[in-house]
Homo-oligomer: A and B are copies of this chain.
């Protein structure tokens, strides 16, 4: 069975990617990061989702992005709440972590090369484009080219690595529909930027608002 490395955060999007890659027939090696998140519930949910969705393996790599400062997700800046839809849709949010997806994909590449795998999957999607530069299709395409220059396997064959982004063109409602179709235990995924210690969402941050809208538009009930 072909192996793939799947970046898994414990959120709805990456869990859906894992389920999608499983359906595509890959033996999935899930990879999460302990990167100074303020809440540990994400990693607990990632482990639970990896098991529930039949991952072959789940690794957690330790990295310390806090050393470089700068984001509400890793430092002591308040997560913005109750923003209106146009604020959410425009500009790079304060929750942007510098070069985060570059770092995550670089680790995924190291892991893939070690496994002899040529496939990496990540849950970037259209909703993120306006806010996070490292979720855009041109960023992903550029990383794929880099991967083929950066590695022994890529240097030998030139078009070895493929970065899978099955959610790339989907809205949040589209992701919700796909998640339900693939049997993702959506109630165990955590999207909130500021959940309580039990993992219950705040309901007011950008991620909670986007998720609520997505479920509503998909005509689905969340939990």
CB neighbours (8 Å) of A61 from chain B are 63-64, 67
CA–CA, A99 and B143, complex, Å: 12
Q: Which residue of B lies closest to A64 (CB)?
A: B62
CB neighbours (8 Å) of A154 from chain B are 133
Q: Give the residue of B67, B99, B110, B114 whose beta carbon is less than 8 angstroms from that of A151.
A: B99
Chain copies in complex: 2
Q: A65-B110, A110-B100 given as contacts; is B149 within 8 A of A139 (CB)?
A: yes
CB neighbours (8 Å) of A102 from chain B are 106, 109-110, 146-147, 150
Quote the shortest CB–CB distance from A153 to chain B (angstroms).
Answer: 9
**A114 & B139 in contact (Cβ 8 Å cutoff):** no
**A63 & B62 in contact (Cβ 8 Å cutoff):** yes
**A103 & B107 in contact (Cβ 8 Å cutoff):** yes
A-B pairs with lowest CB-CB distance, top 5: A99-B110, A133-B155, A98-B113, A98-B110, A103-B106
